[in-house]
Structures are given as C-alpha cells and as structure tokens.
C-alpha cells in the first residue's frame, strides 16, 4: 500500500514542479562571471563567494571560541568535536609530532573546501545577479530595483518569456519590475566551479609539502628528483637513477593538476546537475541530486586534505638508498 502512495506523491510533485516552479532554461558558463569592479580589479562571483566563505569561517570560530568551556556543549561543543575528530585523523596518519605540524594547513584546506562546497548548494546561488541580456540566450529574468547603485535581477519561480521576434536579439525592459529575455551573471556561485580556486589550493598544497620535506630531510631531499651520484661515478645504474628522479619530479608536479581538476570537475558537474534537475523535474530529481552533492561535497574536501597529508608524510619520511631521512620516520 505504501508503494502506490509514494509513486502517486512523486507524480504529483513532478506535475506541480513542472507547472508552477519550473526554473528558467539554464545558461551554463564554465568561466566565472565578473559581477563587481574595484578600480581596475575585476571581482568574479566565485571570488565574491569565497570572501563570504572566509567570513562564515571567521564568525564560526569567533562564536565557538567565545562559548568554549572546560566541558563543551551546544554550538561550541559541536565545532570542537569536529575539529578534534579531524585532528585525530591527521595524528593517526602522520603521528603526534608531524600531525601537530601539518594540522593547521590540512584543517584549513578541509574546512574551507567543505564550507565552499556546501555554500554552493544554497538555493540563493545562481538566482540573484547582474542582468546580462546580450548572450543570445532567452532566459526570463525579472528586473528588480537598483540598490546602492547595483543592478539586481532574479529568476522567478516560473518565469515567463518575452518574444523579441525571429532572429532578433534579447531585449531588456527599461522599467523595474518588467521581465526581459536574457541571462544573469549570479552574484553567488560555488567557489570550486572556478578552476582558479582549486588550482590555488593545489599550488599551496604543493608548496607546503615540499617545504616540509626540505626542512625535515635537509638538502638530501633534492636527491629524490636529481640523483646524479652514480652517474658521476660512471655507474650504468646512474642512468636509471636520473630517469627515476625525473619521473618522480613529473609525478610531484602532476599532483597539482590532478588535485585541481578532480575537485573542479566534481563540483562543476554537480552544479550543472542541480541546474538541469531544477529545470527538468523540480521537487523530485533535484532532491536526489542535492543528497548526492551533500555527500560529494564532503568527500571531495576530505580527499583533497587527506592526499595532501599523505604526500606530506611521504615527503618528511623520504629516505634514499643509504638511509637519509630514516631518522625522521621513527615513531610514525
């Protein structure tokens, strides 16, 4: 008896969503849109959203810090539990000494990526923005009032259409409150859908991994990539050492690329799924995708942070041939 009721409810939701809440035809843009200008600086929507993410993290830290107690409870207790749980994971992988050393960077990566991914799932994303009617795409947008000199527009629940005539470009209405045919550059967009964001984090991840390796192992760390010892002694194995070192260097550099496009690809694909789900089957299909993206957002943040941690631990425990660096791996 339950299955027919569930199926009927799904059909009803699909019909109601399609008739009353169907979103505007999505306009998919890989590149972030410029929404503000600060002098010569162009501020994109992903950059603006990243600032909000940083503010959110600062506010969370401030509130949790003010409410800190010997016996934590409430919001502060939840934040402390999350941090302690993540700290235990880091220490479990890297040991107490290196775990304390790595934790600030690894935790910053994890929580920034996590909050950025979840901010990208808020319904306000890709809805309110700057009107841009000249893309040659008809997408109904309601022109709202100009606030503090900023043009505001939003996509209504069930947008209408404006017929501009065959072959004519989209037009924008002059008066506030009228619909026009065009697209918007949203003020808020998921940070990691801009390839520059995961690339920047990947570069910093690479820098810290190499920094930890060099400061721990010393100058011998570079023999991991440039090992000419046996080649100078005219040993036939020296050629293999050089080749292996070059492969190791390419592998180290390629991590930046893999880190970047793994995170960017998963988050951008999720955003496209949500936009298309809202357009095709509101209330039903989009809910399934939201559940999936909640899981993906967590997993991608965790994978990025954990891979950085594993590579950092590998760097500080590097030993080459005659035992260089072995003392650093003791106790881990």
Task: Give the orientation angle of helix 74-119 with respect to helix 196-217, to 10 degrees.
Answer: 120
Number of domains in the chain: 2
Q: What is 85-144 written as a DSSP string? A: HHHHHHHHHHHHHHHHHHHHHHHHHHHHHHHHHHHTTSTTTTTEEEEE--SS---EEEE-
Task: Mark whether 241 and 225 lie in a shared domain.
Answer: yes
Task: Please indicate, yes or no, if residue 273 is contained in any of the structural domains.
Answer: yes
From 187, 211, 226, give the residue that closes a domain. Answer: 187
CB 19 within 8 A of CB 77: no
Task: Mark whether 233 and 312 lie in a shared domain.
Answer: yes
Task: Please indicate, yes or no, if residue 198 is contained in any of the structural domains.
Answer: yes
Consecutive H or E run containing 315: helix 285-316
pTM of the model: 0.77
Task: Mark whether 171 and 284 lie in a shared domain.
Answer: no
Kindly tell me the burial class for residue 191, based on how many C-beta atoms sit within 10 Å of its own C-beta (0-12, 13-18, 19 or more): buried
Task: Mark whether 65 and 211 lie in a shared domain.
Answer: yes
pLDDT digits (tens, 9 = 90+) for 69-97: 767 778 888 898 999 999 999 999 988 99
From 187, 205, 234, give the residue that closes a domain. Answer: 187
CB 227 within 8 A of CB 264: no
Task: Mark whether 304 and 203 lie in a shared domain.
Answer: yes
Task: Mark whether 76 and 197 lie in a shared domain.
Answer: yes
Task: Mark whether 244 and 132 lie in a shared domain.
Answer: no
Helix, strand and coil in the chain, % to nearest 5:
60, 10, 30
Task: Please indicate, yes or no, if residue 43 is contained in any of the structural domains.
Answer: no
pLDDT digits (tens, 9 = 90+) for 204-234: 999 999 899 888 888 777 777 776 555 555 6
Task: Mark whether 315 and 209 lie in a shared domain.
Answer: yes
From 187, 209, 238, give the residue that closes a domain. Answer: 187
Task: Please indicate, yes or no, if residue 285 is contained in any of the structural domains.
Answer: yes
Task: Mark whether 105 and 136 lie in a shared domain.
Answer: no
pLDDT score of 238 = 62
State the Cα–Cα distance between residues 164 and 162, nearest whole angstrom. Answer: 6
Which structural domain, as residue segments, surrounds residue 163? 127-187
Spans in the chain with pLDDT lower than 50? 138, 141-145, 157, 159-178, 320-332
């Amino acid at each position: 008896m339950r299955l027919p009721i569930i199926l009927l409810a799904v059909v009803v939701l699909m019909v109601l969503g399609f008739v009353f809440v169907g979103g505007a035809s999505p306009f998919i843009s890989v590149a972030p849109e410029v929404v503000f200008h600060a002098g010569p600086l162009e501020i994109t929507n992903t950059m603006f959203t990243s600032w909000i993410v940083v503010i959110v993290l600062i506010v969370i830290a401030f509130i949790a810090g003010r409410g800190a107690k010997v016996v934590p409870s409430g919001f502060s207790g939840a934040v402390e539990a999350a941090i302690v749980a993540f700290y235990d994971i880091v220490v479990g992988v890297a040991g107490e000494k290196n775990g304390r050393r790595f934790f600030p960077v690894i935790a910053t990566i994890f929580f920034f990526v996590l909050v950025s991914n979840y901010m990208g799932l808020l319904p306000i994303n890709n809805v309110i923005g700057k009107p841009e009617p000249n893309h040659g795409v008809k997408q109904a947008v309601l022109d709202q009032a100009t606030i503090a000199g900023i043009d505001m527009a939003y996509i209504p629940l069930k947008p209408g259409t404006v017929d501009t005539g065959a072959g004519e470009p989209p037009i924008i209405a002059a008066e506030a409150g009228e619909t026009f045919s065009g697209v918007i550059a949203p003020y808020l967009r998921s940070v990691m859908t801009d390839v520059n964001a995961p690339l920047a984090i990947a570069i910093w991840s690479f820098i810290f991994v190499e920094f930890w390796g060099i400061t721990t192992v010393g100058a011998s760390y570079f023999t991991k990539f440039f090992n000419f010892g046996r080649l100078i002694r005219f040993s036939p194995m020296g050629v293999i050492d050089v080749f292996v070192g070059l492969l190791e260097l390419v592998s180290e550099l390629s991590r930046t690329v893999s880190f970047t496009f793994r995170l960017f690809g998963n988050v951008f694909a999720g955003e496209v799924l949500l936009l298309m789900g809202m357009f095709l089957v509101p209330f039903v299909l989009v809910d399934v995708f939201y559940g999936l993206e909640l899981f993906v957002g967590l997993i991608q943040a965790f994978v990025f942070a954990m891979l950085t941690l594993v590579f950092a631990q590998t760097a500080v425990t590097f030993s080459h041939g005659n035992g260089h660096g072995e003392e650093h791996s003791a106790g881990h």
